[in-house]
């Protein structure tokens, strides 16, 4: 009993150490993110005072607002004030919309989440089977086709694909709806409770509105899904090639295990562990990297909000949005690490 108690005590201390190390890593990463965003706001050649009062205000008004914004204080004191506000959930006020930046982000972020979620589902459901096929048919025609499709997905500019997609599938073939999230005729047929229009319209039984929203999101989500599919299929192929070369695969073949079971059950299950990180980071990149797509398709999400803010020198909004995106990256990376640990017993034993 004393030995078992001692072992349990060591395991408990080990888990406490892991949790403490994890929180320290997250805190330091977030602090570094805050420092970078703060310095960006001070380095960019945009005068925040002029963004507030305009370039025709008298010097007395300029001086008063300069002091009110705290720009007369030392840099370290400005950062301390900035840190306190961010930790309390205050990103300041947008010069463009005259609303709190947290309210603006809460309003536009669901559109980006919906677009990125549909995109990553498309990229994952297509990319993983394509990567498996390429690995199984290594060096053959199927492998070459998958690699070429992935190369095009990496190389083609996403804004160019968006414009071509609108020209072909919207203007010429009329297969999908045009820019925006929903037509005005369906906008008030349901209540946007979550901001996720596909969910809101379906949960309220407004299927005509659901089909209209789906028609709008299909093209931009497919393009972003193609972009993520290129990365996911490439990484799946790489992981599967490594797994198919392992001894347990040879042993299973000698024992007469069906080939489909070796590929889709044994090898893919082991390859799925690192794939979790790949998919999580792909999802994070879609959340922050859809700026050009949202601009081309007039998608009212975080990317378009940041673009409009940057064009109008609204640095508070730009920095707030950048901080949110950075926090998403940190959070998804942390989540992928936790899932990696849970799915792979070897990682738990090494820890």
- Give the residue extent of every domain in the chain: 18-87, 107-350
89: three-class secondary structure by DSSP: coil
328: three-class secondary structure by DSSP: helix
Question: How far apart, in whole angstroms, are the C-alpha atoms of residue 114 and residue 99?
Answer: 23
Going along the chain, which residue ranges are E strands? none
48: three-class secondary structure by DSSP: helix
Check: CB of residue 297 under 8 Å from CB of residue 161.
no
Q: What is the pLDDT along the chain (351 residues), one digit of tens a residue?
A: 455 555 555 666 666 776 777 778 778 888 887 888 788 777 777 777 776 777 777 888 888 888 877 777 888 888 888 888 888 888 888 877 888 888 999 899 999 999 999 999 999 999 999 999 999 998 899 999 999 998 888 888 888 888 999 999 999 998 999 888 999 889 888 988 899 999 999 999 999 999 999 999 999 999 999 989 999 999 999 999 998 888 888 888 888 888 888 888 888 888 888 888 889 888 888 886 677 888 889 899 888 888 888 777 777 888 888 888 888 877 887 777 777 767 665 555 555
Q: What is the pLDDT of residue 199?
A: 93
Going along 145-205, which residue ranges are E strands? none
Q: What is the pLDDT of residue 5?
A: 58
Q: What is the pLDDT of residue 157?
A: 85
Question: How far apart, in whole angstroms, are the C-alpha atoms of residue 62 and residue 205?
Answer: 54
Question: How far apart, in whole angstroms, are the C-alpha atoms of residue 101 and residue 302?
Answer: 11
Fold of the 107-350 domain: MetI-like fold (1.10.3720)
Q: Which residues pair with 93 in a beta bridge?
A: 100
Check: CB of residue 315 under 8 Å from CB of residue 51.
yes
């Amino acid at each position: 009993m004393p030995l078992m108690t001692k072992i349990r005590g060591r395991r408990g201390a080990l888990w406490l150490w892991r949790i403490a190390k994890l929180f320290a890593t997250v805190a330091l990463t977030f602090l570094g993110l805050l420092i970078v965003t703060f310095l960006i706001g001070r380095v960019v050649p945009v005068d925040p005072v002029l963004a507030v009062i305009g370039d025709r205000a008298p010097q007395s008004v300029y001086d008063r607002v300069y002091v009110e914004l705290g720009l007369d204080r030392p840099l370290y004191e400005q950062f301390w004030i900035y840190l306190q506000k961010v930790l309390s959930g205050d990103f300041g006020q947008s010069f463009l919309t005259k609303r709190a930046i947290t309210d603006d982000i809460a309003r536009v972020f669901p559109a980006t989440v919906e677009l990125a979620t549909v995109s990553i589902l498309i990229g994952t459901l297509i990319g993983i089977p394509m990567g498996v096929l390429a690995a199984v048919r290594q060096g053959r025609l199927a492998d070459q086709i998958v690699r070429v499709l992935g190369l095009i997905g990496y190389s083609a500019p996403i804004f160019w694909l968006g414009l071509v997609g609108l020209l072909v599938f919207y203007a010429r073939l009329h297969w999908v709806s045009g820019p925006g999230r929903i037509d005005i005729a369906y906008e008030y047929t349901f209540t946007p409770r979550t901001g996720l229009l596909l969910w809101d319209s379906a949960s309220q039984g407004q299927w005509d509105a659901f089909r209209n929203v789906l028609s709008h999101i299909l093209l931009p989500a497919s393009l972003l899904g193609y972009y993520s599919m290129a990365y996911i299929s490439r990484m799946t192929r790489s992981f599967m090639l490594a797994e198919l070369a392992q001894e347990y695969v040879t042993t299973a073949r000698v024992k007469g295990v069906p080939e489909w079971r070796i590929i889709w059950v044994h090898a893919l299950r082991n390859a799925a562990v690192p794939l979790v990180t790949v998919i999580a980071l792909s999802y994070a990149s879609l959340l922050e990297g859809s700026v050009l797509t949202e601009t081309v398709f007039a998608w009212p999400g975080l990317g378009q909000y940041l673009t409009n803010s940057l064009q109008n020198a609204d640095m508070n909004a730009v920095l707030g949005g950048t901080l949110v995106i950075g926090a998403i990256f940190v959070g998804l990376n942390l989540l992928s690490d936790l899932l990696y640990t849970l799915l792979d017993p070897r990682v738990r034993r090494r820890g």
